[in-house]
Amino acid sequence: MSLRSIALAHKVPHSTLHRLLNGGISISEFNASKRHLTPAENRVLLNFTEDQAKRGFPLSHQKLKDRANAILRLRKGPLFTVGISWVSRWLETHSKAVSVYWSRGLDRARANGLNPVAVGWYFDTLEKLDCLGIPPENRYAADETGIMLGQAQKTLVIGPARQKVQHKQQDAEREIVTAMETVCADGTYLPCTIIFKGKNLLKKWGKENACEASIGVAPNGYMDSELALLWLEDFNAKTKAKNNLPRVLIVDGHASHTSLAFLDRAAELNIHVVSYPPHTTHAMQGLDVVIFASLKRHWQAVRDQRERETGLAVRKEDFILLYTAARTATLTPEIIKKAFQKTGAYPVDRSVITEAQMAPSTDESLQTNFPADLSSPVKAI
Q: Which of 88-102, 236-250, 364-378 has the lowest mean pLDDT?
A: 364-378
pLDDT in tens, 101-134: 655 555 555 556 688 888 888 899 899 999 999 9
- Taking CB atoms within 8 Å and a gap of at least 24, the contacts of 52-61 are 53/98, 54/356, 54/359, 54/360, 55/111, 55/359, 55/360, 55/361, 55/362, 55/363, 56/106, 56/108, 56/111, 56/359, 56/360, 57/360, 58/101, 58/103, 61/87
Structural domains of the chain, ranges and CATH numbers in brackets: 20-93 (no CATH), 108-155+168-173+182-190+222-369 (3.30.420.10)
Q: Is the pLDDT of residue 350 over 60?
A: yes
What percent of the chain has a predicted confidence (pLDDT) above 70? Answer: 76
Q: Which residue has the higher pLDDT, 142 or 58?
A: 142
Q: Which residue has the higher pLDDT, 298 or 55?
A: 298
What's the pLDDT score for residue 357?
A: 82
Please report, for residues 9, 18, 21, 24, 66, the alpha-carbon distance to residue 14 in angstroms, rounded to integers and kept in the order given: 11, 6, 11, 13, 43
Q: Is the pLDDT of residue 171 over 50?
A: no
Give the Cα separation of 266 and 337 in Å (integer).
24
- Phi, psi at 129, each rounded to 5°: -65, -30
Q: Which of 36-50, 81-95, 107-121, 282-296 has the lowest mean pLDDT?
A: 107-121
pTM for the structure as a whole: 0.65
pLDDT in tens, 365-380: 433 333 333 333 333 3
pLDDT in tens, 147-169: 988 754 455 545 555 555 444 44
Q: Which residue has the higher pLDDT, 32 or 230?
A: 230
pLDDT in tens, 212-223: 999 999 998 999
Mean pLDDT of 179-202: 96
Q: Which residue has the higher pLDDT, 67 or 155?
A: 67
pLDDT band at 57 (very low <50, low <70, confident <90, very high): very low
Give the Cα separation of 378 and 250 in Å (integer).
11
pLDDT in tens, 192-219: 999 999 999 999 999 889 899 999 999 9
pLDDT band at 13 (very low <50, low <70, confident <90, very high): confident
Length of the chain counted residue by residue: 381
Bond preceding residue 377 cis, omega within 30 of 0: yes
Which of 195, 285, 247 is CA-nearest to residue 378?
247
Mean pLDDT over each residue of the chain, to the nearest integer? 81
Q: Is the pLDDT of residue 86 over 70?
A: yes
Give the Cα separation of 138 and 172 in Å (integer).
42
Q: Which of 116-130, 225-239, 286-300 has the lowest mean pLDDT?
A: 116-130
Mean pLDDT of 165-190: 79
- Phi, psi at 147, each rounded to 5°: -115, 125
Please report, for residues 46, 64, 71, 219, the alpha-carbon distance to residue 36 in angstroms, rounded to integers and kept in the order given: 14, 14, 10, 63
